[in-house]
């Protein structure tokens, strides 16, 4: 029987191999276990097996699983990776260690205001719809320079970089232009912030390609929790 620990070890091995192929240190890649299909017991088990970063799509699901967390307080990090509505921003700020999916100036301003109210600085990423899929959220690449000018100065937000969701292809190599495109955007539109270095890209089907193209955060769910 294949255990959760076995699956986690296999994903970590694949991360290390992809990093090696790209001439990178595996320590430059953070594995986020996406718990969309997992319950609190599976989260606790993954923590016992060494996972320290967890990702949830929806604020209510994150609250149900991580408030309080099924592991010692502050012992792991919670990433909110799904589309975030402004009416849930306050709850997101209270929960999250990093919000990946900031896709508007309005949302950034609301997050900054709630972070100030809670006395915290919230790490965030801008979500970019690199592939231009109508079904996906995110800014277009062309919008990035103007958006950066408006949001970089917001107090209580720490801009870490960019995030994208690639189209699903049976052949993961077909996602390479999307991931390369996000990396190029990060390099081209550097606002001069020391924290501007993260690329959140790659999921179960394509995380190895994403790592080869520079991903620092990979969001893997099915390969760990299914």
pLDDT, tens digit only, all 226 positions of the chain: 999 999 999 999 999 999 999 999 999 999 999 999 999 999 999 999 999 999 999 999 999 999 999 999 999 999 999 999 999 999 999 999 999 999 999 999 999 999 999 999 999 999 999 999 988 999 999 999 999 999 999 999 999 999 999 999 999 999 999 999 999 999 999 999 999 999 999 999 999 999 999 999 999 999 999 9
CA distance 75 to 47: 9
> 3-class secondary structure for 64-102?
HHHCCCCCCCCCCEEEECCCCCHHHHHHHHHHCCEEEEE
Single pTM value for the model? 0.97
CATH class of 4-225: alpha beta
Quick check: helix, strand or coil at residue 218?
Answer: strand
User: What sign does the dihedral 131-134-139-144 (CA atoms) show?
Assistant: positive
CA distance 190 to 192: 5
Residue 141 contacts residue 182 (beta carbons within 8 Å) = no
């Amino acid at each position: 029987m294949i255990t959760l620990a076995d699956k986690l070890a296999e994903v970590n091995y694949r991360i290390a191999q992809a990093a090696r192929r790209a001439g990178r240190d595996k320590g430059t890649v953070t594995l986020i276990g996406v718990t969309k299909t997992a319950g609190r017991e599976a989260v606790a088990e993954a923590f016992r097996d060494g996972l320290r970063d967890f990702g949830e799509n929806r604020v209510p699901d994150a609250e149900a699983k991580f408030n309080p967390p099924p592991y010692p307080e502050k012992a792991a990090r919670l990433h909110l990776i799904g589309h975030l509505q402004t009416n849930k921003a306050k709850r997101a700020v209270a929960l999250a260690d990093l919000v990946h999916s900031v896709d508007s100036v309005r949302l950034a301003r609301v997050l900054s205001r709630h972070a100030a109210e809670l006395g915290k600085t919230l790490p965030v990423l801008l979500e970019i719809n690199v592939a231009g899929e109508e079904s996906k959220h995110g800014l277009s690449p062309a919008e990035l320079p103007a958006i950066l000018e408006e949001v970089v100065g917001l107090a209580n937000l720490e801009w870490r970089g960019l995030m994208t969701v690639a189209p699903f292809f049976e052949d993961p190599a077909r996602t390479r232009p999307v991931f390369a495109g996000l990396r190029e955007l990060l390099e081209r539109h550097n606002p001069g912030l020391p924290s501007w270095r993260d690329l959140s890209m790659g999921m179960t089907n394509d995380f190895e390609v994403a790592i080869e193209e520079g991903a620092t955060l990979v969001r893997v769910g099915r390969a760990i929790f299914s």
